[in-house]
C-alpha cells in the first residue's frame, strides 16, 4: 500500500499517461498483510500477529509515538497546509474565513516578527501580575487570565447541566497544575521524583527567560512547586474523577463564599462578565475549592506572583520567541514523551490555527476530503451498529425487562454527527490580524471563552460540534446523547468508501462501535435518554453490570506495558469497556450489514479474521517508553497494544475466528 516518492520527471510522465488513460481509484483497505507476523500465535499476542513487522519501524525523532494515526494526520495536514498557504498569500476581504485563517497562519509562521516582538505583547500581563497588592486583587486577575485561555488557579467553563440537559450553567473544577496530574506531585518512585526535579528546572528556565535573575528564578520555581503541590493534595485522583455523581454539586452562587472561603468570588464573576441572573453554579470538586480558597487568602503574595507569571509563560510558550518554545518542548516533549525534536513549524502552526479558528479551516477542508457519498455510507454503518446494539440489549440474559426498556430508549434517542456540521461556527466577532502571533492566539481564546459565556440563559445548542471536522478523533457527549465522527478520522485506512465492509467495519470498530458504547460504559450508563445524570437501572441490574465490569478492571490491572508499570483498571475502565464492547458491536453490525452476501477469504484470512486484523491494524503504532509511562500515569486510555490485547481476550467472536480457547468472554452488551 505504501507509495514511495517518484522522481519529478517520472511523476510528470505518469501524470500525462493517466490523463490520457484514466485508471479507476483503488480502495485503501484496513488490512495490509505486509504488517502481519504470522509466526505469532494470534491467541497469545494478537497485536504482534496483526502488526508485528511494523514493530521494526523507527519512530521519527519528532514524535513520541508513530503509526496509523500519524500517517492519516500527515495526509490531512498536507491538504490543510495547501489551504493555509493559499489563504496566507491571498488578498482576502477583511472578516472572511480566508482572511482570518490566512492572517492567523501568516503571523504564526513569521518567526522574525515573533523574535523581534519578544515579550512585549505580554508586558501588560506581566505588569499586572507584578502589581498585585494583596489577596483581594487575585480574583479579578484570575478572571482576566481565564478569559484569555490561561489555565491558572482552578478551572471554569460554561457547559450543559448534567442533571438538566436543557440548560447551560457555569462550572468550576480542579486545575491550575503544570504537571500532567496530581500524582506527579505526590508519588515517591524514582522516575516521578526525577520528573519533579526536571519540572522545577524547567520552570526556573522559563522564569529566567522572562527577565528574572537566575537565583530569583530558581527560588521562584521552588515556590511554584510548593504551591502546586498543595493544590495537588486538594485535588482528586483520575479514578475519583470518573464518578459523575460524586463530581456533581449544584450550589447557589452566594454559597461559593462558603465552599471556597477566602476567595472573592463575586469579584471574580464581575471581572468575568458572569450574568447577575445566574443564581447557581456547578462545583465538581468542593474540597479543591476549599483548599484553593485557603491558599488564596493565606498564601504568600510572592508565591502567587511567581505562580501566575509561570502560568502566563506556560500558557503562551508555543506563541513566543524560540527560546521559550524550545524550553517548553524540552520538558513536555523530551522529558515526558521522549520526543527528540519538534515537528516542523508549519505543522505546529497548522495545529494552532485549527485550535483557534478550526471551523473556518474546516469549511475549506471538507470540500476536498469528504464526499456526500462517504457521509451516506458512514451513516448507514451507524444505523447497523445501532440495530446490532438493539438486538444485543434485547437478548442480554443478565438485564431485566424494565432496564432494557430504558436502555433501548436511550439507544433510540442517540444521534450521530458525521463528517461536518450543518451549522458552521460564526467567527465574525473575532479580529485576526498580521500582528504578534501570541496576540492572535489569546484573542481567539478570549473569543471562545466569551462565546461560551454568552450561552448562559439560552437553550442548549444541539447543532454545535465540539471538534473541528478535520480532527482525526471522535467523541461521545453524554449530556447530548450523541456521537460525533469528524471527516478527519473517516479517512483511509480507517475508512474508504470504495473498500469492502470487513475492512471498513473492522478498522472503524474503535471509532463507531467505541463511541456508541461510551453511552453505556461506567460513566455514560449513568445518563438517561435525554442526557440527564439520572439513574435508569434497577438495583439488581446495576449490581450485575458492575460485577461484569469488575472483570475488565482485573484484566487490565494485570497488563504490564513496561516492566513494573501496570495499567490501572479502574482509571481506564470507561475506555476499556468502549474498546471491548465497541469491537463486539462492530462485528455484529458487520454481520447484519453483510447478511445474505457471499464473503470470500483473502490474503489467507477468512472474512471474520480479516475483520479483526483490520481492527488491530487500526491501532498499528510504535510508542516510546517515556510516552507509555506518561500515558499510564496521567490518562484514562490504555496504551495501544493493550487496546488490542484486552478486547481480543474478551470478545467471543474473535476467539471463534482464530480458534482460541484461553479467553474470558465479557457478557455485557
Residues of the chain with pLDDT > 90, as a percent, come to: 93
Helix/strand/coil (H, E, C) string of 25-55?
Answer: CCCCCCCCHHHCCCCCCCCCCHHHHHHHHHH
Residues 347, 348, 353, 355: what is their CA dihedral angle, to the nearest 10 degrees? Answer: 120
Domain span at 439:
61-118+338-369+426-454
Q: What is the band of 12 on the pLDDT scale with cuts at 50, 70, 90?
A: very low
pLDDT beyond 70 at 168 = yes
Confidence label for 432 from pLDDT (cuts 50, 70 and 90)? very high
Contact 480, 77 (CB under 8 A): no
Mean pLDDT within 632-636: 96
Domain CATH for 593: 3.40.390.10
Among 28, 36, 47, 43, smallest CA distance to 616 is for 47
Beta bridge partners of 417: 484
Could you say which DSSP state residue 475 is in?
A: E
Residue 37's nearest CA partner among 29, 54, 49 is: 49
Tell me the mean pLDDT in the region 203-222: 98
Distance in angstroms (rounded) separating the CA atoms of residues 483 and 463:
12
CATH number for the domain harbouring residue 268: 1.10.1380.10
Q: Count CA within 13 A, CB hemisphere, residue 98.
A: 10
Q: Tell me the mean pLDDT in the region 253-269.
A: 96
Query: Helix 401-413 and helix 372-395: axis angle, to 10°?
Result: 170
- 564 and 596, same domain (yes or no): yes
Q: Which residues, listed in sequence order, are joined to residue 516 by a DSSP beta bridge?
A: none
Domain contains 634: yes
66 and 187 in a single domain? The answer is: no
Average pLDDT over residues 353-366: 95
Instruction: Using a pLDDT cut of 70, give the percent of the chain over it.
Output: 96
> Could you tell me if 351 and 479 lie in one domain?
no
pLDDT for the residue 135: 87
618 and 518: one domain?
A: yes
Q: How much is the pTM?
A: 0.93
Cell digits for 401? 425487562
| 283 Rama sector, left if φ>0, alpha if ψ -120 to 50, beta otherwise | beta
Indicate whether 34 belongs to any domain: no
pLDDT at 663: 67
Task: Tell me if 48 is assigned to some domain.
Answer: no
Give me 126's grid cell: 506581566
How much is the pLDDT for 582?
Answer: 97
Rounded to an integer, the average pLDDT of 652-668 is 86
Q: Do the domain assignments include residue 601?
A: yes
301-316 and 190-209 helices cross at what angle (nearest 10)? 90
What is the predicted pLDDT for the residue at 25?
66
CA 560 to chain centre: 24
- Kindly state whether residue 328 falls inside one of the protein's structural domains: no
CB atoms within 10 A of CB 323: 15
Quote the cell numbers at residue 394: 434485547
Q: Mean pLDDT, to the nearest integer, of 637-643? A: 98
Arithmetic mean of pLDDT, 142-170: 97
Q: Are residues 358 and 504 in the same domain?
A: no
| The predicted structure's pLDDT at residue 664 | 75
Claim to verify: residue 512 and residue 571 sit in the same structural domain: yes
pLDDT digits (tens, 9 = 90+) for 609-625: 999 999 999 999 999 99
Give the start-end residues of each E strand in 403-481.
Answer: 415-419, 475-477
Question: Are residue 563 and residue 435 in the same domain, yes or no?
Answer: no
- The pLDDT confidence band at residue 492, using thresholds 50, 70 and 90, is very high
Answer yes or no: is pLDDT of 662 > 90. no
- Count of domains in the chain? 3
* 255 and 271 fall within a common domain: yes
Report the pLDDT value the prediction gives residue 11, as an integer from 0 to 100. 25
Q: How far apart are CA 75 and CA 28, in angstroms?
A: 13
Q: Residues 556-595: pLDDT tens digits?
A: 999 999 999 999 999 999 999 999 999 999 999 999 999 9
Indicate whether 53 belongs to any domain: no
What mean pLDDT is predicted for residues 70-84?
96
What is the predicted pLDDT for the residue at 20? 40
Please tell me the least confidently modeled range out of 3-12, 290-299, 338-347, 380-389: 3-12
| pLDDT at residue 666, as a whole number | 78
Q: Are residues 256 and 345 in the same domain?
A: no
Q: What angle do CA 3, 4, 6 make, to 5 degrees?
A: 115
231's CB contacts (< 8 A; 6+ apart) are 174, 176, 177, 288, 291, 292, 295
Listed in sequence order, the DSSP H helices in 457-538 are: 501-507, 514-518
Q: Strand order of the sheet with strand 415-419?
A: 415-419, 482-486, 475-477
Neighbours of 235 (CB within 10 A): 26
- Dist. CA 491–CA 618, nearest whole Å: 11
Contacts of 215 (CB under 8 A, 6+ apart): none
Q: Which helix (H) or strand (E) holds 200?
A: helix 190-209
**Backbone torsions φ then ψ of 654, nearest 5 degrees:** -65, -45
669: confidence class by pLDDT, cuts 50, 70, 90: confident
Q: Are residues 471 and 539 in the same domain?
A: yes
**76 is a domain residue:** yes
Distances from the Cα of 247 to the Cα of 15, 86, 330, 500, angstroms: 59, 46, 35, 44
Question: What is the crossing angle of helices 607-617 and 640-650, to 10°?
Answer: 150
pLDDT bucket at 411, cuts 50 / 70 / 90: very high
> Which three-class secondary structure state does DSSP give residue 134?
coil
Compute CA distances 644 → 119, 536, 585, 654, whole Å: 46, 31, 15, 11
Give the confidence band of 1 by pLDDT, cuts at 50, 70, 90: very low
Residue 6 lies in a domain: no
Q: Are 492 and 543 contained in the same domain? A: yes
Q: Give the Cα separation of 551 and 666 in Å (integer).
A: 8
Phi-psi region of 603 (alpha: psi -120 to 50; beta: other; left: phi over 0): left
How far does CA 189 lie from the centroid of its chain? 28
Report, as an integer, the average pLDDT of 439-451: 97
Alpha-carbon distance 559 to 638, whole Å? 10
Residues 83 and 167 grouped into a single domain: no
Instruction: State the distance between the two ends of the chain, measured CA to CA, in whole angstroms.
Output: 35
Amino acid at each position: 500500500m505504501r507509495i514511495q516518492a517518484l522522481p519529478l520527471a517520472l511523476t510528470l510522465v505518469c501524470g500525462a499517461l493517466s490523463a490520457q488513460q484514466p485508471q479507476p481509484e483503488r480502495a485503501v483497505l484496513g488490512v495490509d498483510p505486509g504488517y502481519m507476523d504470522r509466526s505469532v500465535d494470534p491467541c497469545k499476542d494478537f497485536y504482534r500477529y496483526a502488526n508485528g513487522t511494523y514493530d521494526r519501524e523507527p519512530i521519527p525523532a519528532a514524535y513520541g509515538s508513530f503509526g496509523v494515526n500519524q500517517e492519516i494526520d500527515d495526509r490531512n495536514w498536507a491538504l490543510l497546509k495547501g489551504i493555509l498557504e493559499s489563504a496566507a498569500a491571498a488578498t482576502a476581504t477583511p472578516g472572511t474565513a480566508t482572511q482570518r485563517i490566512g492572517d492567523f497562519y501568516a503571523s504564526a509562521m513569521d518567526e522574525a516578527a515573533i523574535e523581534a516582538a519578544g515579550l512585549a505583547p505580554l508586558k501588560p500581563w506581566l505588569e499586572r501580575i507584578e502589581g498585585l497588592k494583596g489577596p483581594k486583587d487575585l480574583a479579578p486577575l484570575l478572571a482576566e487570565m481565564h478569559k484569555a485561555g490561561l489555565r491558572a488557579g482552578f478551572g471554569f467553563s460554561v457547559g450543559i447541566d448534567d442533571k438538566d440537559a436543557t440548560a447551560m450553567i457555569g462550572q468550576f473544577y480542579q486545575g491550575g497544575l503544570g504537571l500532567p496530574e496530581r500524582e506527579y506531585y505526590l508519588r515517591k518512585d524514582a522516575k516521578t521524583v526525577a520528573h519533579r526535579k526536571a519540572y522545577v528546572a524547567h520552570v526556573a528556565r522559563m522564569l529566567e527567560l522572562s527577565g528574572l535573575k537566575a537565583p530569583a528564578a530558581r527560588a521562584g520555581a521552588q515556590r511554584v512547586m510548593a504551591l502546586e503541590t498543595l493544590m495537588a493534595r486538594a485535588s482528586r485522583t483520575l479514578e475519583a474523577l470518573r464518578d459523575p455523581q460524586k463530581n456533581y454539586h449544584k450550589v447557589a452562587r452566594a454559597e461559593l463564599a462558603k465552599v471556597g472561603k477566602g476567595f472573592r468570588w463575586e469579584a471574580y464573576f464581575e471581572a468575568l462578565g458572569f450574568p447577575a441572573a445566574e443564581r447557581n453554579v456547578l462545583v465538581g470538586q468542593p474540597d479543591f475549592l476549599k483548599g484553593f480558597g485557603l491558599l488564596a487568602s493565606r498564601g504568600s503574595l510572592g508565591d502567587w506572583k511567581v505562580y501566575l507569571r509561570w502560568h502566563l509563560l506556560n500558557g503562551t510558550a508555543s506563541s513566543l520567541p524560540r527560546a521559550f518554545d524550545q524550553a517548553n518542548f524540552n520538558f513536555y516533549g523530551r522529558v515526558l514523551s521522549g520526543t527528540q525534536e519538534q515537528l516542523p513549524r508549519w505543522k505546529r502552526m497548522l495545529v494552532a490555527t485549527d485550535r483557534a479558528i478550526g471551523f473556518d479551516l474546516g469549511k475549506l477542508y471538507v470540500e476536498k476530503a469528504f464526499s456526500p457519498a462517504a457521509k451516506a455510507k458512514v451513516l448507514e454503518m451507524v444505523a447497523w451498529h445501532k440495530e446490532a446494539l438493539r438486538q444485543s440489549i434485547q437478548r442480554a440474559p443478565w438485564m431485566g425487562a424494565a432496564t432494557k426498556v430504558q436502555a433501548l430508549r436511550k439507544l433510540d434517542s442517540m444521534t450521530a454527527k458525521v463528517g461536518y456540521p450543518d451549522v458552521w461556527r460564526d467567527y465574525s466577532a473575532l479580529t485576526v490580524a498580521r500582528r504578534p502571533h501570541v496576540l492572535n492566539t489569546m484573542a481567539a481564546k478570549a473569543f471562545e471563552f466569551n462565546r461560551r459565556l454568552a450561552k448562559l440563559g439560552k437553550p442548549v445548542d444541539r447543532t454545535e460540534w465540539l471538534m473541528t471536522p478535520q480532527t482525526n478523533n471522535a467523541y461521545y457527549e453524554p449530556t447530548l446523547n450523541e456521537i460525533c465522527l469528524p471527516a478527519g478520522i473517516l479517512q483511509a485506512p480507517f475508512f474508504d468508501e470504495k473498500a469492502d465492509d470487513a475492512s471498513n467495519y473492522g478498522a472503524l470498530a474503535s471509532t463507531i462501535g467505541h463511541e456508541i458504547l461510551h453511552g453505556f460504559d461506567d460513566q455514560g450508563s449513568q445518563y438517561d435518554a435525554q442526557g440527564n445524570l439520572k439513574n435508569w437501572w434497577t438495583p439488581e441490574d446495576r449490581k450485575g453490570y458492575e460485577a461484569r465490569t469488575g472483570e475488565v478492571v482485573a484484566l487490565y490491572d494485570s497488563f504490564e506495558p513496561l516492566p513494573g508499570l501496570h495499567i490501572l483498571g479502574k482509571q481506564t475502565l470507561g475506555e476499556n469497556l468502549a474498546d471491548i464492547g465497541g469491537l463486539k458491536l462492530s462485528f455484529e453490525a458487520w454481520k447484519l450489514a453483510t447478511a445474505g452476501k457471499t464473503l470470500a477469504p483473502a490474503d489467507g484470512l477468512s472474512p471474520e479474521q480479516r475483520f479483526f486484523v483490520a481492527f488491530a491494524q487500526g491501532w498499528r503504532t510504535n510508542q516510546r517508553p517515556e510516552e507509555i509511562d506518561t500515558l499510564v500515569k496521567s490518562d484514562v486510555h490504555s496504551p495501544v497494544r493493550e487496546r488490542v490485547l484486552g478486547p481480543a481476550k474478551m470478545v467471543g467472536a474473535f476467539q471463534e475466528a482464530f480458534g482460541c480457547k484461553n479467553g474470558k468472554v465479557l457478557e455485557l452488551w
